[in-house]
Chains A and B, each alone.
Chain A
Amino acid sequence: MGNIDELIDKLARDGTAIKPALHPVLLSLEWIAAAVFYLAVALVVSGLRTDLIVKLHEPWFVAEIAVLAGIIIATSLSAALLSFPDLHQMRRVALAPAIAFALFALVMLFAWRADNPPSQPPIHSVECTLNITMLAILPAASIFFVMRKFASTHHYWSGGIAMLAAFSVGALWLRLYEQTDSIMHVIEWHYLPMILIGMLGMWLGKVLLKW
């Protein structure tokens, strides 16, 4: 007990005024705004796909883009909540990415069925994954950097969701830039790697988010 009292005295002496962390909703809005800006810059640099106007008249393409944007929002919000030890007592909201990904799977299923006869896949393959990865490195690093200032008690989930947030930005960029109609190609080389990298993020979370 003596040690505890001494420790409390010491901590109390160190207990200078401190500014409470940003509310997770505001934090996620910051991340989303940064993602929108980053995406805009990336599209200005890379250029938009030339058939974008035509594609925006295809319902399943629009749905895919909308749900991808939804994934960015849901994962950003969830990552912000997971940065707090108690998930800011909004545990259910932290599960939002599950709904977004379920919707996404549904949209991709319908898009795949609508892609009949199947569009010709592009000649390249893994280059898409590499492009998404290159573009996602900066958002991933910045999300992890911010999350390290908090106190997550869910390292695996925090890391995984942070990585998915970053890689969904990369995936959205590539979908607006790369001119391909093959749903199998985008599933195989855009979205499945994104989910696998989310799993790598779980490991990164364990390593990087210790406090």
Chain B
Amino acid sequence: MTDNSDNFASLMKQALAGDQRAYSELLQETSRLLRPFLAKRLSFTNEVDDLLQEILISIHKARHTYDGKRPYKPWVYAIARFRLQDHLRAHYADHLHHADDLSEIEETLQQDVTESAISYESISGEVEKLPEKQATILRMMHQEGYTAREIAERIGMNESAVKVAAHRAYKILRQKLEE
């Protein structure tokens, strides 16, 4: 199937008429359409999968609000954006709220890597064992000197997501260094 709005609309029309095969194909294609959209905005693959599932369920619940007479993609992206915002609000706001104090942790690590015996180079082995996105963020932050905002722009995430990913990475590193 081509990435064509008409095909989506036609599949949805068939799905609304009760064609389960067309509906399954539509959901498959929709998840292929939305995966890169979500991956660009979220840090972790499991987050993408979780949110994608939520969006598919929302599409299922809201399918009666699509009549097949207008383009499908704006409709589906409206739902995807809505769920993405919900997700970011609920999860990241919560994470940021409960985080010990992100800036404090960042400062601690910066002190560690600049002033003490621990340098970024000495822990770079540990950094490389982190999940790819976290390692990339720390490398850009501490080796290449980018700010969270610059990193967000370069790797296509939002700034909060970069900070949360960095925070998680610091936690892992701290645990490893304390062992």
List residues of A whose CB falls within 8 A of some B CB.
1, 3-4, 7-9, 11-21, 23, 83-89, 150-151, 153, 211
List residues of B whose CB falls within 8 A of some A CB.
15-18, 20-21, 23-24, 27-28, 31, 49, 52-53, 56-58, 60-68, 70-71, 74-75, 77-79, 81-82
Whether B27 lies near A85 (C-beta < 8 A) is no
Cβ contacts under 8 Å, A211 to chain B: 58, 61-62
Cβ contacts under 8 Å, A3 to chain B: 49, 53
Cβ contacts under 8 Å, B79 to chain A: 85, 151, 153
Whether B78 lies near A4 (C-beta < 8 A) is no
**Measured CA separation A3–B21 after assembly (Å):** 18
The listed residue (A17, A21, A86, A150) touching B17 by CB distance below 8 A is A17
Nearest 5 interchain pairs by C-beta? A17-B18, A151-B62, A12-B24, A153-B82, A15-B23
* Nearest CB on A from B82, distance (A): 4
Whether A15 lies near B17 (C-beta < 8 A) is no
Question: A9 with B24: in contact, given A15-B60, A86-B75 (CB under 8 Å)?
Answer: yes
* Nearest CB on A from B75, distance (A): 4
Cβ contacts under 8 Å, A11 to chain B: 23-24, 27, 56-57, 60
Q: Which residue of B lies closest to A24 (CB)?
A: B65
* Nearest CB on B from A189, distance (A): 37
Whether B82 lies near A12 (C-beta < 8 A) is no
Cβ contacts under 8 Å, A153 to chain B: 78-79, 81-82
Whether A86 lies near B56 (C-beta < 8 A) is no
**Measured CA separation A117–B56 after assembly (Å):** 63
Cβ contacts under 8 Å, A84 to chain B: 65
**Measured CA separation A86–B63 after assembly (Å):** 12
Given contacts A4-B53, A11-B56, A86-B70, 11 further A-B contacts (CB under 8 A): A1-B49, A12-B23, A13-B20, A15-B60, A18-B16, A18-B18, A18-B63, A18-B64, A83-B65, A85-B65, A153-B78
Cβ contacts under 8 Å, A17 to chain B: 16-18
The listed residue (A12, A86, A150, A151) touching B27 by CB distance below 8 A is A12
* Nearest CB on A from B72, distance (A): 10
* Nearest CB on B from A150, distance (A): 6
Name which of A9, A86, A150 has the most chain B CB atoms within 10 A of its CB: A86
Whether B31 lies near A8 (C-beta < 8 A) is yes
* Nearest CB on A from B102, distance (A): 28
The listed residue (B17, B18, B74) touching A89 by CB distance below 8 A is B74
**Measured CA separation A21–B71 after assembly (Å):** 16
The listed residue (B53, B60, B67, B81) touching A20 by CB distance below 8 A is B67
Cβ contacts under 8 Å, B18 to chain A: 15-18
**Measured CA separation A23–B107 after assembly (Å):** 56
Cβ contacts under 8 Å, B57 to chain A: 7, 11
Task: Pull 27 A–B residue pairs with CB atoms less than 8 Å apart, ordered by A.
Answer: A4-B49, A4-B53, A8-B28, A8-B31, A11-B23, A11-B56, A12-B21, A12-B27, A13-B20, A14-B60, A15-B24, A15-B63, A16-B18, A17-B18, A18-B18, A18-B64, A19-B64, A20-B64, A20-B66, A20-B67, A84-B65, A85-B75, A85-B82, A151-B62, A153-B79, A211-B58, A211-B61
